[in-house]
């Protein structure tokens, strides 16, 4: 018998890992062993809290090294350097959280075995919140509990300590940790199924909204911000197109109903270096608008679909186009977002497909009023299986307060028009149950919208708009009226044009198929003859 191969330890797997994805997978597997009796919702905070603490500690240490180098170059003595290194203003002034010594990851890792890892982590979370007002009430203090396997927790701390989060010139260590945070968020959403949709929107859907809206600067708002994915992708978009230094060109405003999800969002923005106003606490957007006076340049949201139990007030001033029905908040979300748009604001919203055609409880009348107010710029039908957390078919609404050329911007005049895009056949399966848009898909859909609107990016790429049967169509309001104000793209884009084949090619294909068919007939005759012979040999 051949000798049994020894299974590598998690530490050995980690040291042999060569890519960030491999490191992420190993950490996820290790963290998953800690589930035990920890409540599923708390478990997210538990693991993501650890990653966040590692992030703030690494950012602090990185700033500490920079500061030490700067001081040494300025001729400051080593004794004096020590004093400067403990000056919190040198960190907070550089937008780095101040981390007390006993909350630094290196200190926790060194003292975990002698003083108890759970106790040290709870104390570290408390210390970081106490020293940084922006994190007050955000970080979890749930590590030193009976239901937490302290041995496994200590092992996970060791793994995170040894993981190679080293950065490069293009991607600092904090960015790598940000990707780990996003990876874990996505895995938690998949693990929790339907409930995961409360805090996570698939990245390719968020990227599509961001690519279409191009939020380069101004106020960005999400009234159902979940874990903050819209803001993170907006910041990444700016970095990719304008550089890292321009991330501060947007101001972020958000609101979230769920307390734990609000905490995740606060951590997510912090770990990506985004200064965001998510209000002092969580709250219901309909009953307690945390940003009542905000007028945003961009609204991006994936609100919960078809919610029946919502804070409905018929006298609410937001219902300018009609009072939304009690049993469905879809048109409450749409009108709330319209109310938040500035004079030239635009919005991208994920909603259930029913929102495009529903006639029940006054929804058809509200949709008609919004169309007649020329608020709808574009409708995108999405493919199935983009959302692992729900099987409800979804679409994207793009709203615009001003579809005129807007003076010096010299956009195409699209007043009285709506662009319809049918993207139901796009995307690729990333596994057996989930689809995602490819980079080419995102470029194609966003490119069509930009060409239609005549944006600066479309002009730079030489893009011009034209209707494509089966994919996109620009309809005037009269055409939409003829369709009863139903906004389903399939009604407008028509069928894909079949490619014409020349007569010679068609003839050759027919000849080939005919030959193949006669061959099958011949095989069938031989098979029949063989079967008859075999049956004839049987004793009846």
pLDDT at 40: 63
pLDDT over 50 (residue 194): yes
HEC sequence for 28-66: HHHHHCCCCCCCHHHHHHHHHHHHHHHHHHHHHHHHHHH
d(CA 158, CA 55): 15
What pLDDT was estimated at residue 196? 57
Residue range 10-164 forms a domain whose CATH class is mainly alpha
> In the chain, pLDDT over 70 holds for what percent of residues?
88
Mean pLDDT for the stretch of residues 38-44: 72
Q: How far is CA 56 from the centre of its chain?
A: 22
Say whether 240 sits in a helix, a strand or coil.
Answer: helix
pLDDT at 164: 61
For residues 81 and 104, which has the higher predicted lDDT (pLDDT)? 104
Cα torsion 442, 394, 489, 419 to 10°: value is -50
CA distance 469 to 477: 19
Q: Which of 294, 336, 292, 293 is nearest to 311 (CA)?
A: 336
pLDDT at 500 over 50: no
Query: β-pairing, 376-381 with 417-422?
Result: parallel
Task: Give residue-wise pLDDT tens across range 266-290.
Answer: 999 988 889 899 999 999 999 999 9
- Helix (H), strand (E) at residue 417: strand 417-422
Are 219 and 250 in contact, with CB atoms under 8 Å apart? Answer: yes
At 49-58, the pLDDT tens digits run: 888 998 899 8
pLDDT greater than 60 at residue 104: yes
Residues 6+ apart with CB under 8 A from 164: 17, 23
Neighbours of 432 (CB within 10 A): 6
Contact 92, 98 (CB under 8 A): yes
User: pLDDT tier at 148 (50, 70, 90 boundaries)?
Assistant: confident
Tokens at 346, concatenated: 């635009």
Query: pLDDT above 90 covers what percent of the chain?
Result: 54
> Under 8 Å CB-to-CB from 445, ≥6 apart: which residues?
208, 211, 212, 380, 421, 423, 426, 437
The pLDDT, as a whole number, for residue 499 is 47
Closest CA to 142 of 129, 155, 125, 127: 125
Give residues with Cβ within 8 angstroms of 105, minimum separation 6.
53, 54, 57, 58, 160, 161
Instruction: Answer positive or negative: Cα dihedral of 239, 242, 243, 248.
Output: negative
Q: Cα(136)–Cα(279) distance, rounded to whole angstroms?
A: 12
Helix H or strand E segment including 440: helix 439-453
Q: Where are the beta strands (DSSP E) in 123-249?
A: 218-222
What pTM value is reported for the model?
0.83
Name the DSSP class of 468.
B
Q: Please, which residues have CB within 8 angstroms of residue 436's CB and are 6 or more apart in sequence?
A: 202, 203, 204, 386, 427, 428, 430
Write out 290-353 in H/E/C secondary structure.
CCCCCCEEEEEECCCCCCCCCCCCCCCCCCCCCCCCCCCCHHHHHHHHHHHEEEEEEEEEEEEH
Tell me which of 3.90.45.10, 3.30.565.10, 3.40.50.300, 3.40.50.150 is the CATH number of domain 191-493: 3.40.50.150
Please give the pLDDT value at position 114: 87
14 — pLDDT class (breaks 50, 70, 90):
low
Question: Where in the chain are the domains?
Answer: 10-164, 191-493
Least confident of 135-149, 406-420, 485-499: 485-499
- Residue 184's nearest CA partner among 60, 9, 386, 46 is 46
Q: Residues 6 or more apart from 428 whose CB is under 8 A from it? A: 435, 436, 438
* Average pLDDT value over all residues in the chain: 87
């Amino acid at each position: 018998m051949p000798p049994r191969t020894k299974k590598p330890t998690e530490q050995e797997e980690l040291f042999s890992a060569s890519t960030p994805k491999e490191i992420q997978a190993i950490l996820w597997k290790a963290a998953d062993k800690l589930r035990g009796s920890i409540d599923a919702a708390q478990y997210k905070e538990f693991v993501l809290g650890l990653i966040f603490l590692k992030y703030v500690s690494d950012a602090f240490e990185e700033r500490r090294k920079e500061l030490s180098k700067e001081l040494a170059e300025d001729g400051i003595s080593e004794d004096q350097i020590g004093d400067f290194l403990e000056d919190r203003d040198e960190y907070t002034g550089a937008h780095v959280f101040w981390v007390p010594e006993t909350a630094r990851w290196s200190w926790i890792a060194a003292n975990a075995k002698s003083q108890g890892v759970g106790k040290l982590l709870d104390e570290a979370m408390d210390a970081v919140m106490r020293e940084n007002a922006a994190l007050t009430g955000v970080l979890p203090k749930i590590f030193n509990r009976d239901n937490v396997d302290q041995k496994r927790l200590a092992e996970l701390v060791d793994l995170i300590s040894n993981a190679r989060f080293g950065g490069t010139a293009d991607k600092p260590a904090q960015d790598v940790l940000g990707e780990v945070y996003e990876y874990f968020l996505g895995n938690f959403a998949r693990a929790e199924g339907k409930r995961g949709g409360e805090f996570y929107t698939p990245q390719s859907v968020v990227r599509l909204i961001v690519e279409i809206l191009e939020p380069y600067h101004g106020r960005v708002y999400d009234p159902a911000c979940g874990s903050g994915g819209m803001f993170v992708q907006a910041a990444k978009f700016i970095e990719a197109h304008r550089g890292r230094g321009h991330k501060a060109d947007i101001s972020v405003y958000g609101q979230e109903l769920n307390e734990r999800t609000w905490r995740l969002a606060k951590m997510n923005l912090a770990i990506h270096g985004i200064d965001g106003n998510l209000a002092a606490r969580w709250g219901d957007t309909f009953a307690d608008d945390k940003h009542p006076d905000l007028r945003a340049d961009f609204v991006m949201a994936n609100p919960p679909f078809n919610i029946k139990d919502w804070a409905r007030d018929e006298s609410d001033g937001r219902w300018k186009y009609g009072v939304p029905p009690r049993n469905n908040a879809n048109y409450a979300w749409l009108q709330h977002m319209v109310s938040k748009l500035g004079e030239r604001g635009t919005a991208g919203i994920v909603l259930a497909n029913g929102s495009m055609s529903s006639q029940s409880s006054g929804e058809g009348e509200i949709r008609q009023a919004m169309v007649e107010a020329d608020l709808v710029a574009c409708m995108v039908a999405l493919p199935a299986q983009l959302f692992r957390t729900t099987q409800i078919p979804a679409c994207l609404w793009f709203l615009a307060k001003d579809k005129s050329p807007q003076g010096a911007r010299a956009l195409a005049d699209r007043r009285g028009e709506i662009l319809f895009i049918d993207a139901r056949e796009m995307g690729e399966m990333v596994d057996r149950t989930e689809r995602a848009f490819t980079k080419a898909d995102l470029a194609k859909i966003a490119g069509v919208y930009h060409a239609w609107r005549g944006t600066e990016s479309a002009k730079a790429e030489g893009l011009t708009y034209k209707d494509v049967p089966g994919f996109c169509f620009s309809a005037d309001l009269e055409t939409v009226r003829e369709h009863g104000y139903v906004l389903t793209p399939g009604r407008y884009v028509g069928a894909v044009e079949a490619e014409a084949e020349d007569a010679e090619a068609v003839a050759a294909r027919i000849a080939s198929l005919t030959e193949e068919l006669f061959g099958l007939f011949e095989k069938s005759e031989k098979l029949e003859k063989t079967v008859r012979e075999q049956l004839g040999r049987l004793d009846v």
